[in-house]
């Protein structure tokens, strides 16, 4: 990972990163997720810095689609399992005419590792699983998933621009 390469695309996982990883179910069967508004503002900071944004998740829910629309994410890839997160990132890079070296990604669990190992800037929340924290060159945030870790990572990236 070369910290001198300019980041042109920011990608994030959802559960355990944009949320606290909890899955809340209402009596009527509705699923609820708690998002942090400071992480939402991070997307605005990236836009102002001229960096494209995307959400890449293994889940497939209307909640995430609504959140992606609300924060103005340029890309949303849901249902990305079995290496699908890396494939999604490669597809976006092809569309944008950039390399994975120009991508920043924050993830927290085992299915994030293939992508974390390939991007130019990798990060994880403080409460990520140990295997993610062991990815070479990864930046471990001071904040937990759902508690502003995305904003923390974005502020570091935007300072470099």
What confidence category does residue 110 fall into, taking pLDDT thresholds of 50, 70 and 90? very high
CATH number at residue 130: 3.40.50.1000
Please tell me which residue, 19 or 4, carries the higher pLDDT value: 19
**DSSP H or E run through 106:** strand 103-106
Q: Is residue 122 part of a domain?
A: yes
Q: Is residue 4 part of a domain?
A: no
What confidence category does residue 161 fall into, taking pLDDT thresholds of 50, 70 and 90? low
**DSSP H or E run through 105:** strand 103-106
The one-character DSSP state at 21 is S
- pLDDT digits 0-9 by tens, 28-51: 988 888 999 999 999 999 999 999
Residue numbers belonging to the annotated binding site for Mg(2+): 13, 108
Residue 47 belongs to domain spanning: 9-160
- pTM for this predicted structure: 0.94
Q: Is residue 1 part of a domain?
A: no
Task: Provide the pLDDT for residue 84.
Answer: 86
Q: Report residue 77 as tokens.
A: 């890839």
Helices (H), the chain: 37-48, 62-71, 84-96, 113-116, 130-133, 149-160
Q: Is residue 96 part of a domain?
A: yes
Number of domains in the chain: 1
Whether the per-residue pLDDT at 81 is higher than 80: the answer is no
Q: Is residue 2 part of a domain?
A: no
Residue numbers belonging to the annotated binding site: 13, 15, 108
Residue numbers belonging to the annotated binding site for substrate: 15
CA distance 104 to 92: 13
Q: Is residue 115 part of a domain?
A: yes
- pLDDT digits 0-9 by tens, 56-75: 998 888 899 999 999 999 99
Q: Is residue 3 part of a domain?
A: no
């Amino acid at each position: 990972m070369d910290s001198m390469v300019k980041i042109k695309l920011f990608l994030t996982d959802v559960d355990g990163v944009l949320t606290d990883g909890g899955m809340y179910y209402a009596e009527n069967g509705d699923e609820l997720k708690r998002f942090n508004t400071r992480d939402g503002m991070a997307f605005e900071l990236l836009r102002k810095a001229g960096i494209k944004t995307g959400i890449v998740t293994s889940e497939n829910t209307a909640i995430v689609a609504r959140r992606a629309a609300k924060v103005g994410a340029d890309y949303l890839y849901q249902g990305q399992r079995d290496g699908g997160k890396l494939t999604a990132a490669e597809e976006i890079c092809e569309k944008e005419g950039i390399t994975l070296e120009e991508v920043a990604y924050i993830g927290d669990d085992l299915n994030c590792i293939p992508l974390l190992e390939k991007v130019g800037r990798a990060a994880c929340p403080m409460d990520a699983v140990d295997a993610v924290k062991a990815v070479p060159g990864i930046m471990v945030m001071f904040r937990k998933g759902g508690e502003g870790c995305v904003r923390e990572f974005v502020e570091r990236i935007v300072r470099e621009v």
